[in-house]
Amino acid sequence: MKILLVQADRDAGKYGKILPKFFIPSLALPQLAACTPKKHEIKIVNEWYEKVDFDEDCDLVAISAFTKDVYRAYEIADEFRQRGIKVVLGGYHPTALPVEAKQHADSVVIGEAEISWPKLLDDLEKGKLKPFYRSRKVRPEKIPSARKICNGFIGAIQASRGCPYRCEFCQLTGFGDNVHRKRPVKEVVDEIEAMPNKIFWFHDASLTIDPRYSKKLFKEMIKRKLRKRWVAFGNMAILSRDKEFLRLASRAGCIAWMVGVESVSQRVIEKEIGKGGNKIDRVPNMLEIIEDEGMEVWASFIFGFDNDTPATFDATFQKLEEWGLKVAEFNILTPFPKTPIFEKLRRQNRIISFDWRKYDLNHAVFLPKHMTPEELEREVRKLSRKFFSIDRIIKRMLSAKSFRSKIFSFLANFAIRKFTDFDFEGGRMRYENIARNALYKVEGEFV
């Protein structure tokens, strides 16, 4: 069969031709392509880089979508189905709300697709396609090496899957992906070595979940003399104290760590987020030892927790100035479907919009406790504009310790600045009722 794999994006075509080459590439479809039987012909279209051609000669279209992009996925699915082509939907949102997704697809894959995908293709060829396929967790040695990721300057890899921490706002929690599974070190480094990209991202939830495994990985990367640079997610508890870990990471090519600091309030971190290992008083030490090894920190913060108030934003800015943090991003708490925070806010009747386009970390779709949704959005944008002012970006760049860190700080800050005020107002509102109705159906077991 001729199979078209599509990564849907609500803003398809809006980025131009150059900027998307610097985006962090998705691994979902390249990994799916890797576990597709070789008798099938595969084409991948990522809408970051190119739009879908609805005249494409294909027998099956499989579409992956995040929540913010799902209406675009439905539009693509509806168009292909009108042309008589079978459509499969998968990814975070279809897994969370398979009944909703099924209205736009011949079949929905729930969970990780690698195991159920070959079975789905076999069923389709026999004319016995099922409406839903619920997949088991993929064993670590079976996590596929992604086929070549097209069009991007930056590469991507995954050494492990899952996360044992159950942050109530994280989509991995809603995905049921709480078992940490690690690929064989040699297999991972072989894939890195074969990757054409000189810069890449680890798609792991965190490389600090199992420090012993990561140290083995770093040592093998050092041994191979890969001469490649990379960025990964990490936990503050490890990054603020394990100097050997950081030294090995730097020698292995790490240029920056993405760290979910989340809040400058220890009360919010412990009572609402559940990251007891995040000690705010350790942040200066974390920054110092990471920067001493020639790396930088890209810290993320979330606003809208029940203990956040209008005073939280000024307090955050003051802390960032005090710490001398080079790169940060500011997100609004977003209750993605099936996450614990979504269920909690829905029980409290505090969700005010089921317009999935707004589930993008930039819009308040629920009622905060100590401010209005409009105030939450306004204050986050105000904080972003202040932090990403040209003079402050240049000041932070000049204060970086190494030339490599100066370049990273400058590019990362300008990239985030560009998207801070980027709001999407298009799309089709007719889907909101579909979403609202699907939420209140009993979904149960489908297969």
Question: In 3-state terms, what secondary structure has residue 261?
Answer: strand
Task: Determine, yes or no, domain membership for 440.
Answer: no
Whether the pLDDT of residue 429 is over 80: the answer is no
Find the helix packing angle between 373-387 and 403-420, rounded to 10°. 150
**Residues 161 and 126 reside in one and the same domain:** no
**Residues 159 and 242 reside in one and the same domain:** yes
Rounded to the nearest 5 percent, the helix, strand and coil shares of the chain are: 40, 15, 40
**Residues 116 and 203 reside in one and the same domain:** no
CA distance 247 to 416: 28
Which CATH number covers residue 346? 3.80.30.20
Q: Can you give the pLDDT at residue 442?
A: 37
The edge-to-edge listing of strands for the beta sheet with 199-202 is 155-157, 199-202, 229-234, 254-262, 296-303, 327-332
Q: Return the amino acid letter for 113.
A: A
**Residues 99 and 166 reside in one and the same domain:** no
Task: Determine, yes or no, domain membership for 432.
Answer: no
**Residues 216 and 268 reside in one and the same domain:** yes
Q: Which of 327, 347, 318 is nearest to 335 (CA)?
A: 347
**Residues 315 and 282 reside in one and the same domain:** yes
**134, 168, 197 - which closes a domain:** 134
**77, 103, 134 - which closes a domain:** 134
| pLDDT, tens digit (0-9, with 9 covering 90-100), for 228-267 | 999 999 999 999 999 999 999 999 999 999 999 999 999 9
**Residues 168 and 123 reside in one and the same domain:** no
Task: Determine, yes or no, domain membership for 167.
Answer: yes
Task: Determine, yes or no, domain membership for 143.
Answer: no
Output the six-digit token pair for 16. 């131009």
Number of domains in the chain: 2
Sign of torsion over alpha carbons 124, 64, 198, 190: negative
Segment 20-39 shows an average pLDDT of: 84
**Residues 216 and 83 reside in one and the same domain:** no
Q: By mean pLDDT, which of 41-50, 115-124, 363-372 is the weakest?
A: 41-50
Q: Can you give the pLDDT at residue 221?
A: 98
**Residues 182 and 275 reside in one and the same domain:** yes
Segment 133-138 shows an average pLDDT of: 80
Task: Determine, yes or no, domain membership for 319.
Answer: yes
Find the helix packing angle between 211-224 and 185-194, rounded to 10°. 40
Percentage of the chain exceeding pLDDT 90: 69
**84, 106, 134 - which closes a domain:** 134
**Residues 168 and 78 reside in one and the same domain:** no
Which CATH number covers residue 102? 3.40.50.280
Question: In 3-state terms, what secondary structure has residue 22?
Answer: helix
Residue 87: Cβ within 10 Å count: 23
Task: Determine, yes or no, domain membership for 275.
Answer: yes
**Residues 158 and 253 reside in one and the same domain:** yes
Domain that holds residue 223: 154-420
327, exposed or middle or buried, with CB in 10 Å at 0-12, 13-18, 19+? buried
Q: Which of 246, 312, 316, 324 is nearest to 284 (CA)?
A: 324
Percentage of the chain exceeding pLDDT 70: 88
| pLDDT, tens digit (0-9, with 9 covering 90-100), for 353-369 | 999 999 999 999 999 99
Q: Can you give the pLDDT at residue 183?
A: 93
**Residues 128 and 171 reside in one and the same domain:** no
Whether the pLDDT of residue 53 is over 80: the answer is yes
Whether the pLDDT of residue 56 is over 50: the answer is yes
Task: Determine, yes or no, domain membership for 6.
Answer: yes
Strand partners, 299: 259, 328
Find the helix packing angle between 373-387 and 311-323, rounded to 10°. 20
Task: Determine, yes or no, domain membership for 147.
Answer: no
CA distance 33 to 12: 22
